[in-house]
């Protein structure tokens, strides 16, 4: 990645004071942008379920840097990948998650984890969380993930044998909830072999409600409580109670077997061991917040990426055929999967990266400037929100050859980039960039490859269709998901 440069962002990631404004940078108010109405600005044009597409269309119309007024707030929108990379690398010192996200999460009863934390609290929690994601720990999680993958195989076999279709969204959510509960908390909740979806049905309410409140014109829930608000409160309470149970069980296991402290078999026990170190500065409440973060982030993001990947492979038969051949040659029966066999599936991993380039489940981020700075010659006062359009350049022909096509070979350096100088690895940032890059990205890729390898080893994909036919709609609900994808399979002998 390129280091911060004066042309893009001032001060750079190591600066401690604002730069001189003698060069008279442009003001955000002077930039082009969508039309505004009194009081609300462009808020009512920003249709919540497809707001990422609305802002991407505005970027194509108004350029890589434009203003966006939402109510009383004026934001700078950035879609240039070099500027984005520099902004995201200037965290946590120069930019932070927005205060609005923190406030609304607290109102809902959510304890902030590493995703929402800022400043020194983020630094302490980051060390704790990363302790659970080191390569040795991830390798130790493999048997648990393999068990969940085998359960998914059995569930899909049963569906195929009774002639049914697979509703991808809820099916993959079951897989990711079971996987993250087993990997992160040592809890075998097993939604795949049960119709009981208690924790999943509660989790599914939290992210959409948080997203809706973030972009509401008026905080109605603070003054008028509706039945939906009461159901949400019950779901948050139920999830918090479940998390308290996970933590209590983990502490009991650690107390009963001191050897577990030397080699914690799951992320939660790793976090507790790290938090219990005398100088960690991490509280039990912050451990709770990170358990919630892992449940929420580990469910939505991986499940939606898998759904998009299945759709794109079905739409691109040559890529699918190559993936099938690789899996069936190198990985074999899912019961015999090993870390080395899964690591050898380089084409399958390239397909995952290409999916995330075209269909990133986090197509935008909003950060807040902690100090006055300059981005690409534009003055950004402290406290200003910066809307980061993460997908803009990665699907732009100026930066990626044949940008709209699904071409996994570009991730293997097999494609001739022609006159396009930029590598997709520098432009596509589905896990973010800089110090706050997603700590679970390697685990997410492992989950994706395991589920896809099981699917391709034991089934032929007969069809994948979207609700209403045609291309699946992209819907934002904190993460970006496909609407109504259904899959038909044929079991392989």
Q: What's the pLDDT tens digit per position in 202-225?
A: 877 888 898 889 888 889 999 999
Greater model confidence, 97 or 137: 97
| Domain spanning 9-491, CATH architecture | Orthogonal Bundle (1.10)
Structure token digits, residue 315: 């739409």
Q: Can you give the residue ranges of every domain in the chain?
A: 9-491
Burial 355-374 (b: 16+ CB within 10 A, else e): bbbbbbbbbbbbbbbbbbbb
Mean pLDDT of 231-253: 88
User: Kindly report the CA angle at 428 between 440 and 485, in degrees rounded to 5?
Assistant: 75
pLDDT at 419 over 90: no
Closest CA to 152 of 302, 344, 352, 314: 302
DSSP letter (8 states) at residue 333: S
Q: Around Cβ 134, how many Cβ atoms within 10 Å?
A: 12
Residue 293 has pLDDT above 80, yes or no: no
Half-sphere exposure of 373 (CA within 13 A, CB side): 32
The pLDDT assigned to 2 comes to 38
Residue 105: its pLDDT value, please?
A: 87
Q: State the SS3 of 264-289.
A: CCCHHHHHHHHHHCCCCCCCHHHHHH
CA separation for the pair 394, 422 (Å, rounded): 10
Structure tokens at 403: 């940008």
| Closest to 153 in 3D by CA, of 456, 443, 484, 462 | 456
Residue whose structure tokens are 């800089």: 434
Q: At what angle do helices 99-107 and 198-214 cross, to 10 degrees?
A: 140
pLDDT tens figures, 77-94 = 999 999 999 999 998 889
The DSSP string of 175-229 is HHHHHHHHHHH------TT-S--HHHHHHHHHHHHHHHHHT-SS-GGGT---HHH
Q: What is the average per-residue pLDDT within 429-434?
A: 86
Confidence (pTM): 0.86
pLDDT tens digits, one per residue of 314-334: 999 999 999 999 999 999 999
pLDDT of residue 197: 55
Residue 32 or 11, more confident: 32
Query: Tens of pLDDT along 448-493?
Result: 999 999 999 999 999 999 988 889 999 998 889 999 999 999 999 8
SS3 63: coil
The reported pLDDT for the residue numbered 170 is 87
Which tens digit of pLDDT belongs to each residue from 151-191?
Answer: 999 999 999 999 999 999 889 988 988 888 777 777 777 77
């Amino acid at each position: 990645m390129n280091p911060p440069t004066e042309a893009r962002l001032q001060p750079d990631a190591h600066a401690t004071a604002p730069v001189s404004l003698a060069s008279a940078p442009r003001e955000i108010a002077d930039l082009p942008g969508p039309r505004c109405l009194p009081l609300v600005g462009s808020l009512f044009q920003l249709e919540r379920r497809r707001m990422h597409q609305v802002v991407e269309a505005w970027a194509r119309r108004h350029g890589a840097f434009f203003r966006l007024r939402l109510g009383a707030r004026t934001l700078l929108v950035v879609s240039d990948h070099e500027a984005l990379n520099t902004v995201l690398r200037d965290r946590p010192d120069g930019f932070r998650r927005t205060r609005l996200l923190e406030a609304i999460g607290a109102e809902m009863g959510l304890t902030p984890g590493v995703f929402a934390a800022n400043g020194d609290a983020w630094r302490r929690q980051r060390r704790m969380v990363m302790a659970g994601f080191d390569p040795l720990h991830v390798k130790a999680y493999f048997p648990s993930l393999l068990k969940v993958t085998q359960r998914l195989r059995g569930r899909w076999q049963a569906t195929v044998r009774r002639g049914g279709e697979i509703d991808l969204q809820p099916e993959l959510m079951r897989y990711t909830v079971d996987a993250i509960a087993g990997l992160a908390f040592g809890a075998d909740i097993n939604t795949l072999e049960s119709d009981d979806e208690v924790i999943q049905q509660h989790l599914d309410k939290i992210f959409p409600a948080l997203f809706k409140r973030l972009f509401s014109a008026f905080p109605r829930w603070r003054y008028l409580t509706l039945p939906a608000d009461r159901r949400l409160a019950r779901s948050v309470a139920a999830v918090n109670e479940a998390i308290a149970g996970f933590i209590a069980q983990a502490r009991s296991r650690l107390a009963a077997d001191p050897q577990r402290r030397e080699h914690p078999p799951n992320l939660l026990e790793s976090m507790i061991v790290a938090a219990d170190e005398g100088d960690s500065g991490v509280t039990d409440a912050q451990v709770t917040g990170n358990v919630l973060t892992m449940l929420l982030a580990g469910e939505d993001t991986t499940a939606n990426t898998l759904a998009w990947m299945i759709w794109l492979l079905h739409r691109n038969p040559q890529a699918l055929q190559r993936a099938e051949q690789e899996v069936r040659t190198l990985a074999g029966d899912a019961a015999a999967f090993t870390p080395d066999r899964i690591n050898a599936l380089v084409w399958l991993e390239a397909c995952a990266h290409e999916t995330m380039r075209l269909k990133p489940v986090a197509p935008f981020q909003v950060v807040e400037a902690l100090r006055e700075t300059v981005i690409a010659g534009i003055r950004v006062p402290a406290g200003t929100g910066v809307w980061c359009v993460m997908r803009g350049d990665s699907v732009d022909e100026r930066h990626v050859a044949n940008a709209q096509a699904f071409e996994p070979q570009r991730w293997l350096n097999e494609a001739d980039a022609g006159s396009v100088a930029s590598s997709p690895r520098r432009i596509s940032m589905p896990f973010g960039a800089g110090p706050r890059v997603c700590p679970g990205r390697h685990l997410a890729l492992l989950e994706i490859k395991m589920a896809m390898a099981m699917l391709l080893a034991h089934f032929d994909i007969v069809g994948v269709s979207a609700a209403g036919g045609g291309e699946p709609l992209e819907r934002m609900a904190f993460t970006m998901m496909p609407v109504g994808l259904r899959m038909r399979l044929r079991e392989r002998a």
